[in-house]
Amino acid sequence: MAVGPVSLEFFPVPGVRLAATAAGLKKSGGLDAVLFEFAPESRTAGIFTRSLFAAAPVQVARDHLQRAAPRYFLINSGNANAATGQAGVMDAETCCSAVSQQTGSSPDETIPFSTGVIGERLPVERLTNAISQLRDGLDENNWLIAATGIMTTDTRPKIASRRFNVEDKTVTITGIAKGAGMIAPNMATMLAYVATDAAAEAGLLQDLLTAAGERSFNRITVDSDTSTNDACMLTATGVSGVDLSDDAALAVFVPELDSLMLELAQGLVRDGEGATKFVTVTVEGGASESDCLGIAFSIANSPLMKTALFASDANWGRIVMAIGKAGVPADPARIDVYLGDVCLMKGGGKNPDYREEQGAAVMTGEEITIRVDLNSGTCSGTVWTSDLSHDYVTINADYRT
């Protein structure tokens, strides 16, 4: 069960073709292999997990991205190729070579991605056997089946799309993402692929992606656990003829990219494992943005807060607890706490006008906003999270069995 409606509409991106197939990596027999192809002259930027145990494909991706502008992404679900040592790196390289042979490109021009169970060797042959079929199926209309092919415990595909004009030219941005558990902000979370037909050189593209990632994927948490395979990619094909080195074009493009990436990131939270609530946590009136984010993440990651949200219990004592443990200096006597528009706490103590029914009424909704005002500055920060439900435990107690 995910929170909120799902939109599956998208615009194809000129210069990008995709395909998905069932290569036999998922026991279910579902789609588990995806190929992206980008037009020549495309440029790509990436941000990756900060985990010490960055998976083999992440290591290879970083390397290939240094060496060449990617023409292909080969993505598999069902196996993370993580904690597989040097053998795992060779497996990922073998897959890239297979794409190279089937497409006449260089092995460095393919970037590999994997998501699924950690610690098992990748079934390389199943994946390489599927490549000719993937190549033959490449089509610019395949974004939705690609979004389905990268899913693991996700209950629905995540896709977002924007089309807008820059002067007389049309620009498209479309992206897909996957991830429902092991979601915590540390670079991009799990896998996300965004492409546009605008043109940009690689350095600018990296700056745009890093900034947009900081405001979207790095502001969400489902369970505070960070994946070994996180990757978020932004590719610019340039086919539209709109160049982002032009400041006017950039000014139109950036808000569209930001809103698309935030939609994808929030889509992960809405489909967070076992999620029954979509929760926005805003902390304002702080001395710095990082202070505000520190408190917001402390609230968003607290198991006691998350179980109270699941129970639709306006247990504001747990908000207080989570503020208290955040390790951020603040004056308790100045802190106000709101649930939706209802003021629960005023100046560090219970708001005398607050009645339990008011909090309970807000909590009946699927979309909840918690707002903390530190009343000590002008900075703010917002993060998004889900609740901790019985289904989270069920999903994660059963995942491998």
Residues 196-225 that bind a second copy (CB under 8 A): 223-225
Supply the minimum distance, in Å, between the C-beta of residue 37 and a second copy: 31
Among 106, 307, 369, 382, binds a second copy (CB under 8 A): 307
Under the binding rule (CB under 8 A), the answer on residue 279 touching a second copy is no
Q: How big is the chain by its Cα radius of gyration, in Å?
A: 22
Q: How far is the CB of 91 from a second copy (least distance, A)?
A: 12
Residue with Cβ nearer a second copy (203 or 347): 347
CB of 67 or CB of 334, closer to a second copy: 334
**Closer to a second copy at the Cβ: 137 or 377?**
377
Q: Find the shortest distance in angstroms from Cβ 143 to a second copy.
A: 29
- Backbone φ and ψ for 72, nearest 5 degrees, come out as -135, 145
Which of 319-344 are b and which e, b meaning 16 or more Cβ less than 10 Å from the residue's Cβ?
bbbbbeebebebeeeebbbbbbebbb
Query: Read out DSSP for 104-143?
Result: TS-GGGEEEEEEEESSS---HHHHHHTHHHHHHT-BTT-H
Give the footprint of a second copy on residues 224-243 (CB under 8 A): 224-228
Q: Rule CB under 8 A: choose which of 330, 342, 363, 368 binds a second copy.
A: 330
To a second copy, the closest distance from the beta carbon of 46 in angstroms equals 18
In the window 337-356, what residues touch a second copy (CB under 8 A)? 345, 347-350
Active site residue 189: yes
Q: Give the Cα-Cα-Cα angle 199, 201, 111 (nearest 5 degrees).
A: 95
Nearer to a second copy (CB atom), residue 10 or residue 392: 392
Site string for a second copy, 90-129 (x = CB under 8 A): ---------------------------xxxxx--------
Minimum distance from residue 62 beta carbon to a second copy (Å): 15
**Which of 166, 326, 339, 342 is in the footprint of a second copy by CB under 8 A?**
326
Q: Coil, helix or strand for 241?
A: coil
From 49, 128, 189, 226, active-site residue? 189
Near a second copy in 159-178, by CB under 8 A = none
The residues, any chain, with a CB within 8 Å of residue 22's CB and separated by 6 or more, are 29, 30, 31, 32, 33
Q: How far is the CB of 115 from a second copy (least distance, A)?
A: 12
∠ Cα 216 172 218 (to 5°): 10
According to CB under 8 A, which one of 186, 210, 259, 369 is a site residue for a second copy?
186
The CA distance from 328 to 149, in Å, is 41
Main-chain phi, psi angles of 218, to 5 degrees: -85, 10
* Region of 67-75, 86-94, 138-146, 243-251 interacting with a second copy (CB under 8 A): 86-94
Among 67, 325, 334, 355, binds a second copy (CB under 8 A): 325
What is the sign, positive or negative, of the torsion defined by CA atoms of 276, 149, 53, 105? negative
In the complex, minimum distance from the CB of residue 239 to a second copy, in angstroms, rounded to a whole number: 38
Q: For residue 271, give the nearest of 182, 189, 154 by alpha carbon.
A: 154
What is the secondary structure of 264-299 as a DSSP string? HHHHHHHT-TT---EEEEEEEEESSHHHHHHHHHHH
Q: How far is the CB of 48 from a second copy (least distance, A)?
A: 12
Strand-by-strand arrangement of the 158-166 sheet = 43-48, 231-236, 191-196, 169-178, 158-166
Among 203, 241, 255, 332, binds a second copy (CB under 8 A): 332
400 is an interface residue for a second copy by CB under 8 A: yes
Residues 27-56 within binding reach of a second copy (CB under 8 A): 49-54
Cα distances (angstroms) measured from residue 225 to each of 118, 186, 220, 229, 328: 14, 10, 11, 12, 21
Binding of a second copy by 304 (CB under 8 A): yes
Nearest residue (CB) to a second copy, 215 versus 350: 350
The answer to whether the beta carbons of residues 359 and 312 sit under 8 Å apart is: no
The dihedral formed by the CA atoms of 27, 134, 145 and 264, expressed in degrees to the nearest 10: 100
Please identify which residue in 74, 184, 195, 261 interacts with a second copy, judged by CB under 8 A. Answer: 184
401 binding a second copy? (CB under 8 A): yes
Asked if 77 touches a second copy (CB under 8 A), the answer is no
Residue with tokens 């595909």: 157
Could you say which of 135, 317, 343, 369 contacts a second copy (CB under 8 A)? 317
Catalytic residue numbers read: 189
